[in-house]
Structure 1
Amino acid sequence: MTKNSNLPEASSVKLIVSDVDGTLLNKEHKLHPRTYRALKYIRENYPELPIVLATGRQRSSTREISKSLNLDVFPAVHLNGGVLYDKGEPVYIEQLSTEALFEVYDRIKDMPTVGMVVYDENTVYVMKEDGPEKPLVKLLAHYGEVVDMDTPSQAVRHNVLHNDCKVVKAGLLGTPEDLEKIHEILKDFPVTSFSPMISTNFSIELVPSNINKGTSVIAIITNIYHDIEPENVITFGDSQNDISMFKVVHWSVSMANGMDIAKKCARTISPLSNNEGGVGEVLERIFEIPTSYNPLN
C-alpha cells in the first residue's frame, strides 16, 4: 500500500479536521474549486459530519470559508489551538506569558529587519515593525490576516504590558537569515515559556506551551463529540504546526506541497498540492463523490 492510498472508509469517518493556509487554500488564498466541491458535497450529503478548521489564523480571517460551507455550526480551532470555539462561542482562550513576550522582544528589538506581531482573539497588532515600510506585516495582511496597521507599536507594547491586549499568539517575522538567528535566540528560553513553530517561510510563531492543534482535537472529541474516537478522525495539513494533530488521530494527510517533516509524520500524502485541490481529491476517493456532482445545481 502506497502512502497516497492509505485512506479510511467513508463509514468510519466521523470528524474531518483541516488546516487552512497551504492546505484548504491555494496560492491565491482561496478555496480551490475541487476542494470546495468535495466539502460542499459532504455538507449536503452528510450534514451531521463535523468539518473543523484548525488554523493559526483568527476566526475573523476565516469567515468567508465558514460562511460558504456553513461551518459555524461546528467547533473551530484557531491561533494554533490558543482559542477553541463551538458553534461560534469560545470554549477556552489561552494567553501567552507577558513576561516571556517582553523577554523575546528585548532580544530582537535591535534587529532592524525583524518584526514582531501579537494576536488577540480577533486582531493582529504590530509590537515591532520589520522596517519603515513593514513589508512582512503587509504580507500577513495580504494573506488575509486582520492586521491593525494604525496603532503605533509603542502603544501596542503598552497595551500588552498592561493586559489590555490579551495575547494568544505572537509572530516573529524576518528573512530566512533572520529566522535562523531567532531560532538560536529562542533556544535560551525554557520550554514552559512558549512553543515555537514554523508556519511560513518568513515567520516563527509562539503559542502557549500547553496547547497546540492536537490538544484542541483531543478536547473536541473528549468534551464536545463524546462518541468519536481518534480512529474516526481524519486530519489534513502541510506544516510543522499540523504535526501535533497528526499524532493524536489515526488518519492524517499531508499535502504534496507539505513540509518534509509534515510528510514524514502523516499517514498519507496527497498526490496533489493545495494549488491542485489536494484535499478535494482525497475526499473524492473516500466519499466516492460522483463526477456528475455540481455544487451549483
Structure 2
Amino acid sequence: MTISSTKAYIKPHRPLPSPTSIQLIVSDVDGTLLDSHHTLPPTNPTYQVLSRIRTEFPTLPIIISTGKQHPSTAELRRDLNLESFPSIHLNGNVTYAPNGGGVVRESRLTAATVRGVFKELRKDVTEDKEQEKALFAYDYDVVWQILGTEDDGWARVLRGYGEDVRVLEKEEEREAFVRGVESGERRIFKLAVCEEEAPLAVTRKRLETLFPESFAIVQALTFCIEMIPVGHNKGTALADLLKDYYKGEIKPENVIAFGDGENDVSMFKVAGMSLAMGNAMSRELMEEAVWVSDETNDDGAVGRFLGRVFWGHEKLEN
C-alpha cells in the first residue's frame, strides 16, 4: 500500500500536522476504525498503520471513543494492542481505566427519564405497529430491547455491530425492567430508538419537544437515535481524561480525533486536530473538523491520514 498525497482532503484548514505535535490519538469505532462490515482486517490501512504506531511509538496513547459498551470492543482493543490505554464508551458516559482497571467515570440517565421515554413510545407499539419501532436500554454490558420484538429485526441489526442484545417481549418483563431502574438495581447510560429514517426524524423531534431538558440526542446511524445524559458526551469524557488521567500533561491542541457521526462533534470541539471521514453523515461534524477526507472507513482513512503524517509517501507493507 502506498500512501498518496494530501489531495485526499477536501477541507484542509491547515497543513498536515507534524508527528511530534500529536501526543494522543482518539477515534470513534463504527464507521471510522471499522469498515462497513464492522471489521478491521489486517489488510486495512488503518490496522496496518495503527499497529506500526504501537510498535514504533509505544507510549503514544491511542484511545477509542465509542457508543459501544466495553465488552463489545474487547476484540478490537486486543487486536490493536490498546489495552494499556483508557477507553471511552457509551458516547462518553462510561470511561474505563487501562488493563482491566474498571470504571473511572460514569454518568447515567435518571429513572424518570427512562420511565418517561418508555411510557411515551409504548403508545406507538400496538399489534399492527410492533415491527416499526424498537427501544433499547444500555447498561454496562448488555443492550436490553424493551419495546419491539425479536421479529422486528432491529436486535439483529445491533448484534451485527457486536452488541449483546437481549429482547424482553413480555409486558411484565419490560415493566419489571423499568421498575428495576427506578429502584436503583439497574443503571442505564443510554437509550436508543431504531426506526426507518423518515419516521425516526419525526420521533426525534417529538422526544426533543417532550423532554427538552432530560437528555441530549445524538445520532451516528441513519436508523438510530441515542439519548444520553445532558452535559456528558465524548467531548466531556475526553476533556476529563486529559485533566484527570493525564494530569494536564497532554494539551487539547496536541490531540487528534477521528469520527464520522453527530456523536463525534463534541470530541472534535475538544481536540485541537480532527478528521471527518469521507463517509461522515453529519454536516455539523464536517463543519467542526479541521480536515475532511474523501476517503472512507473502507479505504482505511484513519490509517492513510496517520501514514501520511508519520511516514509521508513511504510504501507500507500490505
**What TM-score do the two structures reach when normalised by structure 1?**
0.93
Tell me what 1:67 maps to: 78
Tell me what 1:274 maps to: 297
Q: Which amino acid aligns with 1:194?
A: F
- Residue 170 of structure 1 aligns to a residue whose secondary structure is strand
**C-alpha separation in 1, matches of 2:86 and 2:240:** 10
Conserved in 2, the CA contact under 8 Å of 1:270 and 1:279?
Answer: no
Q: Which amino acid aligns with 2:306?
A: L
Structure 2 unpaired stretches of 5+? 1-8
Cα deviation, 1:96-147, whole Å, max 9, x if unaligned, reads 0110121111211122321110001111111111x56031121001111111
**C-alpha separation in 1, matches of 2:156 and 2:182:** 24
Conserved in 1, the CA contact under 8 Å of 2:213 and 2:230?
Answer: yes
Conserved in 2, the CA contact under 8 Å of 1:7 and 1:251?
Answer: no
Structure 1 unpaired stretches of 5+? none
**C-alpha separation in 2, matches of 1:99 and 1:294:** 53
Tell me what 1:107 maps to: 120
Please list, as runs of the form range in 1=range in 2, the aligned pairs for 1:255-294 lying within 5 A after superposition.
255-259=277-281, 260-288=283-311, 291-294=314-317
Tell me what 1:173 maps to: 194
Which of 47-56 and 196-205 deviates more?
196-205
Tell me what 1:126 maps to: 145
Conserved in 1, the CA contact under 8 Å of 2:259 and 2:275?
Answer: yes
Cα deviation, 1:5-51, whole Å, max 9, x if unaligned, reads 74211001000000001100111101152100010010000000000
Which of 92-101 and 183-192 deviates more?
183-192
Conserved in 2, the CA contact under 8 Å of 1:38 and 1:289?
Answer: no
Residue in structure 2 matching 1:199, options 209, 220, 229: 220
Q: Which amino acid aligns with 1:279?
A: V
**C-alpha separation in 1, matches of 2:313 and 2:11:** 24
Q: Which amino acid aligns with 1:118?
A: A
Q: Over the residues paired in the alignment, what is the CA RMSD in angstroms?
A: 1.9
Tell me what 2:261 maps to: 239
Cα deviation, 1:182-222, whole Å, max 9, x if unaligned, reads 11212224543111111211111001102000001101111
Q: Does 1:48 align with 2:66?
A: no
State the identity %. Answer: 34
Please list, as runs of the form range in 1=range in 2, the aligned pairs for 1:16-165 lying within 5 A after superposition.
16-31=25-40, 33-87=44-98, 88=100, 89-111=102-124, 112=129, 113-129=132-148, 131=149, 133-149=151-167, 152-165=173-186
Conserved in 1, the CA contact under 8 Å of 2:197 and 2:222?
Answer: yes
C-alpha displacement of 1:177: 2.8
Residue in structure 2 matching 1:254, options 264, 276, 300: 276
Tell me what 2:4 maps to: none
Between Structure 1 and Structure 2, how many residues are aligned? 294
**C-alpha separation in 1, matches of 2:228 and 2:295:** 30
Conserved in 1, the CA contact under 8 Å of 2:10 and 2:294?
Answer: no
Cα 1:170–1:210 change in 2 (3 A) is same
Cα deviation, 1:41-86, whole Å, max 9, x if unaligned, reads 1000000000000000001100111001121111111000110112
Q: Does 1:3 align with 2:3?
A: no
